[in-house]
Each structure stands twice: as C-alpha cells, then as structure tokens.
Amino acid sequence: MESPPEKAASQAEAITMSGGGVYSLATIGAKHVIDAALPLVEDAIDAVPEASFAEGFTLADMGCADAGTSLDMVGAAIARIRSRVPDVPVTVAYTDQPRNDFNALMTNVHGLGPFDAYLDDHDDVFPLASGTSFYRQALPPESLHVGFSATAMHWLSDKPGDIDGHVHMVGATGADLDRFRARGHADWRRILSHRAAELVPGGRLVLVNFCIDDEGRHLGSTGGVDMFDTFAALWQEFLDEGRITDAEARSMTLPQYYNTLEEFTAPLVDADEEAHRAGLRLVHAETRVVRCPFAADFEQHGDAERFAHAYLPTIRTWNESTFAAGLDPSRSVDERGRIIEDFYGTYRDRVAADPEGHGMDYVHAYLVIEKVA
C-alpha cells in the first residue's frame, strides 16, 4: 500500500467542488473548455491501435466532479469510438477524490438530473466511478485507452505551506514560490507515473490543465482586473478591519499550482525523466484562453448588477471550501458562514460598482500525450 502518498493526498481530498449538480450548473465556462477539447479527444481516439480495443474501449474522465460538464464530450467520444469499431463495449471511468459528490455524478450520468444523458443514445456503455484521486492509480494496469481530464490537476496533493500576503502561487515570491513549485513539479510527475501504468500501449491522454501561458496570463488574469489579487486584497481588508485574524488570513492559501507549458512538457521530452522512461511522449501542447462567459454576456447586456450576480457563483464553486476551512473552527458555524457571505458579497459589490476588467477567463494548457505502443 502506497501509504505516504495516500496520506499526502489527504489534504487535497478535503477540497470539494460544490455538490448536488450545482458545480456543473454554475460552471458553463468549464463546459466550454471541455467542448473545445473534443477535436483533440477525437484525434486521440483515432490514434489508439484498433487491436487494443477489440474487446472493449475504456475512456476516463479524471477529476470529473459531478460529470455534468463532460456529458456532451463523452457522448461525442463514444460516437467516435463506435465509428472505428461499431458496437464495441465502452466503459466510461469517472474518477475523483473520495469526498466528491458521487450521488450528483450518478444522477447526472443516468439522466436523472438537469442534463441529457448519453446513455439514452448508446447501447453497451458502462459508466463506472472511482473514488481514487489522480494521485494514485485508479484503474487496473494497461486498461485505459484514452484518459481525459479538465480543470482538475492544478489541485496539489497537499498544501506545501501558506503564502505571505497572497492566496495563490501566482502571487507568491521567493521561498513561498519555491515550495509551491517543488510540490507542483513532484505532483505532476506523480500524476503522469500513475497514468503511464493505467494506459494500454498506444493509449493516449488529453489533459486540459490550468496554466500560466507565455504572456504570463492565467485563470482570472488576462489583462483586466486580476481575480487572485482581488481575493488577496479583500482578505487583507477583512484582516485590517479585524474581521479575521492573521492566522486566518494566512490560511486562505489555495493548494494549487499552475505549470507553464515548459513545466508541463519537461517530463515528457527529457529521456532521463521517469514518465519518459515509462513510455509517455508528448504529442501536442498548446495554450488557449476561453473567455469568461459572464464577462462576455456583460459585453452584450451592459447590466453591471446582473453581471456581478451571475459571475460570483462560478468562483464560489471551487474556492469556498478552502476559504471556509481557513476560518478558525472556534468561531461558530453561523459566524463563519457570515464572514464567507460577507466576503463574496463584498466581491460582488465591487464588481457591480466597477465591472470593467472583471471576469474569470480560462487559461489552459491542452496536452496530448501518448504511451508508446
């Protein structure tokens, strides 16, 4: 049993996306990102050796949350698989950490939620869910044909420390940044190592991960107001006003690392790296910016109040659990709830008062990786 890694993953496993299907409903932008990756997924399917899936094809969505954002992509992927081998049984393996909302996932996948289900369009498709995070091997050796992941692998296996005066590594410097970089690099290699074990020879990965692009852009920072700076500034104000303690302000650090394209590709092009020795090779790498759908809507409707109310929920889906956990547990549940509501309320008011430049544009690396046959 890989005990130390499992323990190391425990903190990341405490991070949860919003449950009950709220995640997918609030994150239409994440769906746009996934839909944009479909041509890469289709190319990956086309490239897998046909002999390897005569008996069945396994597609995985790793870090799937409630699976709502990838339903359309998975349906299209099944059609592509069947265009190669008609009627081949397809297993769709959904993986996430064990505290993910698997009830929402099953509801969405089986068409009992707010979305159309691809199961209605295709026979002999077998959805399966794993509560094993991507920091461990979730599937049997050489069983995976195409592994997909979107907007998930920036979550570190553990928080390597708190960041002085900021909430995210994009605002870290010096020793703080070094600690996050070291953990980020080690975690990326650990993710690749487990995927190398899972892939069939000739299998492929299509990984769509948050990144810092060549122009220094990243999620929520593409030239306008920097979203992470806003988080940091707001918590600093809460600290200055005595509404949170210094220890709480420091605890708001998000356990994330955004790699550059160079950092992502290094383990795949250097023959001394373990991932390369395990047979993983870089097929394709690019970065893309997908516009914040709420900021794009605002450009059309021009209603600042409406924009602010539409925009905030997408932020809350992914950072509320970290910020709420950063508050001292000696505070009552009600008090903690009030602080969190005030925090997002203040953010919302700020956007409504001066909307220009706000938004959460997505900046992703789109990576295609092959395991040599």
DSSP 63: T
Q: At closest approach, how far in Å is the CB of 97 from a second copy? A: 9
Report how far residue 74's alpha carbon sits from residue 322's, in angstroms, rounded to the nearest whole number: 30
Which parts of 244-303 interact with a second copy (CB under 8 A)?
Answer: none
Nearer to a second copy, 84 or 301 (CB): 84
Cα Rg of the chain, angstroms = 21
Site pattern 301..320 for a second copy (x: CB under 8 A):
--------------------
Stretch that binds a second copy, among 39-47, 94-102, 214-222, 245-253 (CB under 8 A): 94-102
Nearer to a second copy, 138 or 212 (CB): 138
Q: At closest approach, how far in Å is the CB of 55 from a second copy? A: 8
Q: At closest approach, how far in Å is the CB of 272 from a second copy? A: 27
Task: Give the DSSP H/E element, type plus range, for residue 288.
Answer: strand 280-290
Which parts of 61-90 interact with a second copy (CB under 8 A)?
Answer: 89
Nearer to a second copy, 121 or 240 (CB): 121
Site pattern 107..146 for a second copy (x: CB under 8 A):
x-xx-x------xxxxxx-xxxxxxx----xxxxxxx---
Nearer to a second copy, 123 or 272 (CB): 123
101 belongs to the binding site for a second copy (CB under 8 A): yes
Q: 170, 212 in Cβ contact below 8 A? A: yes
49 belongs to the binding site for a second copy (CB under 8 A): no
Nearer to a second copy, 14 or 373 (CB): 14
2 belongs to the binding site for a second copy (CB under 8 A): yes
39 belongs to the binding site for a second copy (CB under 8 A): no
DSSP string, 347-358: HHHHHHHS-TT-
Q: 343, 234 in Cβ contact below 8 A? A: yes
Q: At closest approach, how far in Å is the CB of 124 from a second copy? A: 8
Q: 81, 88 in Cβ contact below 8 A? A: yes
Q: 94, 129 in Cβ contact below 8 A? A: yes
106 belongs to the binding site for a second copy (CB under 8 A): yes
Q: 371, 204 in Cβ contact below 8 A? A: yes
The CA-atom distances, in angstroms, between 319 and each of 253, 254, 340 are: 10, 8, 11
Residues 6+ apart with CB under 8 A from 364: 33, 150, 151, 208, 209, 210, 211, 287, 288, 290
> Strand, helix or coil at 137?
coil
Report how far residue 291's alpha carbon sits from residue 283's, in angstroms, rounded to the nearest whole number: 26
105 belongs to the binding site for a second copy (CB under 8 A): yes
Q: At closest approach, how far in Å is the CB of 222 from a second copy? A: 36
Q: Give residues in contact with a second copy (CB under 8 A).
A: 1-2, 55-56, 89, 91, 93, 98-103, 105-107, 109-110, 112, 119-124, 126-132, 137-143
